[in-house]
Amino acid sequence: GACGRTDRWDDAMSILEEMRSQQVRPDASSFNAAMSACADSDLWQWALEFFADMKRSAVEADAFTCAAALTVSQSCQQNPQAV
């Protein structure tokens, strides 16, 4: 994309924040993008936070969400300092 890979997580967080400030409810795709961007940047704790936020917001998880959560979980087990 137009942004460097290391900036994706920051962009994803900003977009979710902007959506909420505009009274737009994030959907599964929005959360999935944020989780994926955080996971790509080794920010597992943020990816897990987005997953928890998704559940709190009553947004139904899809197959991509489950795959992202598994990837984050496996990475945390391989690198416990990540969380």
DSSP class of residue 23?
T
CA distance 52 to 78: 21
Q: How many CB atoms are closer than 10 A to CB 23? A: 6
Please provide the DSSP assignment of 31-76 as one string: HHHHHHHHHHTT-HHHHHHHHHHHHHTTPPP-HHHHHHHHHHHHHH
- Output the pLDDT for position 2: 37
- Output the pLDDT for position 41: 82
- Output the pLDDT for position 7: 64
- Output the pLDDT for position 12: 83
- Output the pLDDT for position 63: 93
30-82 per-position pLDDT tens digit: 999 888 888 888 888 888 888 899 999 999 999 999 888 887 777 766 555 54
Q: Reduce the DSSP state of residue 28 to 3 states and report it.
A: helix
